[in-house]
Structure 1
Amino acid sequence: MKNKNKLGSSGIGGQAVIEGIMMRNKDWYSVAVRKSDNTIEVEKKQYKSASQKNKILGAPFIRGVFSFIDSLVLGIKSLTYSASFFEDDDETEEEPGKLELWLINKFGEKAENVIMGCVVAVSIIFSVLIFMMLPLFIADMFERFVPGIGNRQVPVIEGIAKMVIFIGYMLLISLMKDIRRTFMYHGAEHKCINCIENGKILTVENVRESSRFHKRCGTSFMLIVLIISILFFIFIRSDVVWIKYTIRLILIPVIAGVSYEIIRLAGSSDNFIVNLISKPGIWMQKITTKEPTDDMIEVAIKAVEEVFDWKDYLKSNGIEVLDEISGEEDVD
């Protein structure tokens, strides 16, 4: 069955993990992992986002910040789960460290959540330092030591530094064998979603033929964050060093909120202008996604089917779901 008409957004999203894929639909998510014995292990759990718990946090331009934090938390949970299948099997169980024991004694059952919160906080801090503060520091060094560089040129140099650091970072990690495999699973995730949203039955063959690029990708979101921040700081400037750094910290939630609304619009619209805005993110996905193997696609399909009824989605969009082997309509 072929259908070239693009359907509306399915609402599902995901992330590549170690030898597997996490897929999320509303308040459910699944993690499918290809284990070393070649079997596929699938876990399904419920996850309530901050915006679901509080309606105010789901308001436009506010929801973006909390959606990003939710994505980090869920991503780290999924990565930890997938990594557990590939840890070395020691004959003796490793004793917990002093910090771990202190956390368990202090917080009890909530210790895991505390550790997760710390990991997310550290991740955000490092991201801000590397992709926001370091470029400004580089631009300030140019202004201080390079003749002819003034305050007006600082935002331009800062913007160039941001893009070079971000693209360079992605290119460097893509050279690592394990990361390259993760990028292949990332491609499988996108291909599955594109297959469904283009009205095709979810089979290995159809997924393989689908595009590995998607406008709702996290890579696109990160790139849009950088572009929006560059535009913001071209117009919001100060000669006072501490004010420049403070402004960047204060405006991070605003930039994240605006960027989220853009990526959200991109995922549900095929408008010419929206597609044009999405182009840089699609180009970046040439680095962060790779063509997957069929066994990786099988893992992606397992993850999707655990949390999303793609047959019902196709039927609700007026597409007849047929059994590709028998040619008979699937009535479930």
Structure 2
Amino acid sequence: MKYSGIGGQAVIEGIMMKNKDQYATAVRRPDGEIEVKKDTYVSMTEKVPFFALPFIRGVFSFADSMILGMRTLSFSASFFEDDEDSEPGRLELWLDKVFGEQVEKVLMAFVMVFSVVMAIGIFMVLPLLIANLFRRVIHSETVMAFLEGAIRIAIFVAYIKLISRMEDIRRTFMYHGAEHKCINCIEHGMTLTVAHVRESSKQHKRCGTSFLIIVMLISILFFMVVRVDNVWLRILSRIVLVPVIAGVSYEFLRLAGRSDNALVNFLSRPGMWMQNLTTSEPDDSMIEVAIEAVEAVFDWKAYLRENFPDTVIPEEKEEVLA
């Protein structure tokens, strides 16, 4: 495997792929055609040098992914909105009056803040409160840290299992698999064709699912060390340490995505296993969408020539035969 620098995410009936400052969102429209939108996004770590420092860049890279994710989800959702005319509600009218043209950005910011607050509440604070019920019978802080971590992971797995019952989410997980398979196809030196993508793995070490699992595992180590007696201080510590844990987790994920070291691969396994919950095998039409997204922002042929010179690219093979 050789690092390509491309990454992406699944959207509604489509894929977003990003390469440096360029990103493209490919969506399978209701009429069966593929719509591709290409744009640029300069990350916060590029705009502010301080944000690019190790252990700090992880928090801002996560924020970048949320902002870009909201943009691309909004684009993909626009193809599947109800076409029926309906009168705007009072809330919509009030928002338009107060924020005007900025209403979409305001709503996007609200959704992101709300999502972060809910995630911290459900996956950081709630496990602590549940684990705290066992303090009367468990007196070891180390055991309590492991118990809290186990509860955190169990809640995450239950959440994924619950939402995967929805048809739209199941299809999104299939597109998620297509995204991984495309990147794996290229990074393992194969030409980007439907057949080769289908053969590739749907698991990738740089996946966001892996990042979340790494956060949960590293949090166990942190909370084994950070010990306070007051439950309110424990809750505060879980909230305050989120950026620190995220920063450490990002550095490991960044290393894992660029390394084939046996130890790194071993430590990456929990995240890879968890990806079985968030990725599914795509059909060929989904793979076609993913390929369109990749080709809009990444010259995979030039990448293969540089990193896998023995790989025969179709048109080059035709030239040789001629």
Q: TM-score range by the shorter chain?
A: over 0.9
Alignment equivalent of 2:134, drawn from 142, 145, 161: 142
Q: Shift of residue 323 of structure 1?
A: 4.6
CA distance in 2 between partners of 1:55 and 1:101 (Å) = 41
Alignment of 1:258 with 2:226, yes or no, is no
The answer to which of 269-278 and 153-162 deviates more is 153-162
Q: Does structure 1 retain, via aligned residues, the 8 Å contact 2:13–2:175?
A: yes
- The one-letter amino acid of 2:137's match is G
Q: Which residue of 2 aligns with 1:60?
A: 54
Equivalent residue for 1:178, pick from 164, 168, 171: 168
In structure 2, the residue matched to 1:307 is: 297
Q: Does the 8 Å CA contact 2:301/2:313 hold for their aligned counterparts? A: no
* Number of equivalenced pairs: 319
CA distance in 2 between counterparts of 1:39 and 1:318 reads: 33
Whether the 8 Å CA contact 1:194–1:210 is kept in 2: the answer is yes
Residue type at the aligned position of 1:217: C
SS at the partner of 1:319? coil
Q: RMSD over aligned Cα, in angstroms?
A: 1.7
TM-score (norm 1): 0.91
- Who is 1:78 aligned against? 72
Who is 1:206 aligned against? 196
Q: Which moved more, 1:133-142 or 1:309-318?
A: 309-318
Q: How does 1:135-284 map to 2 (within 5 A)?
A: 135-143=127-135, 147-150=136-139, 152=141, 153-284=143-274
CA distance in 1, matches of 2:237, 2:95: 35
Residue deviations 1:284-303, cap 9 Å, x none? 11111111111110000000
SS in 2 for 1:85: helix
Q: State which of 102, 108, 120 in structure 2 corresponds to 1:110.
A: 102
Partner of residue 11, structure 1: 5
Cα distance in 2 between the residues matched to 1:128 and 1:190: 27
Taking only the aligned residue pairs, the percentage that are identical comes to: 58
Report which of the two has the higher share of helix.
Answer: 2
Q: Does the Cα contact within 8 Å between 2:26 and 2:37 map onto a contact in 1?
A: yes
CA distance in 2, matches of 1:158, 1:276: 23
d(CA) in 1 for partners of 2:42, 2:72: 15
Please, which runs of 5 or more residues in structure 1 have no aligned partner? 1-5
Q: Could you say what secondary structure the match of 2:42 adopts?
A: coil
The superposition leaves residues 250-278 of structure 1 with CA deviations (integer Å, 9 ceiling, x where unpaired) of 11110000000000000000111110110
How far the C-alpha of 1:126 sits from its partner, in A, is 0.7
Give the equivalent residue in structure 2 for 1:3: none
Q: Distance in 2 between matches of 1:105 and 1:321?
A: 58
Could you tell me which of 113, 126, 130 is aligned with 2:118?
A: 126
Q: How far off is 1:165 after superposition? A: 0.5
Q: Deviations over 1:4-33 (max 9, x none)?
A: xx22x1111111111111111111111111
Tell me how far 1:105 sits from its aligned partner. 3.7
Alpha-carbon shift at residue 321 of structure 1 (Å) = 5.8
SS for the counterpart of 2:133 is helix
Distance in structure 1 (CA, Å) of the matches to 2:260 and 2:250: 17
Pick closer, same or farther for the CA change 1:198–1:139 going to 2, 3 Å. Answer: same
Tell me by how many angstroms 1:320 deviates. Answer: 5.2
CA deviation vs aligned residue, 1:71-97 (integer Å, no higher than 9, x gap) = 11111211121111111210x2x4444
SS of 1:42's equivalent?
strand
Question: What is the TM-score of this pair, normalised by structure 2?
Answer: 0.94
Distance 1:246 1:326, change over 3 A: closer
Q: Within 2, Cα distance between the matches of 1:326 and 1:315?
A: 11
Q: Structure 2, unaligned stretches of length 5 or more?
A: none
Q: Is the CA contact 1:311–1:321 (under 8 Å) kept in the aligned structure 2?
A: no
Code of the aligned partner of 1:15: Q
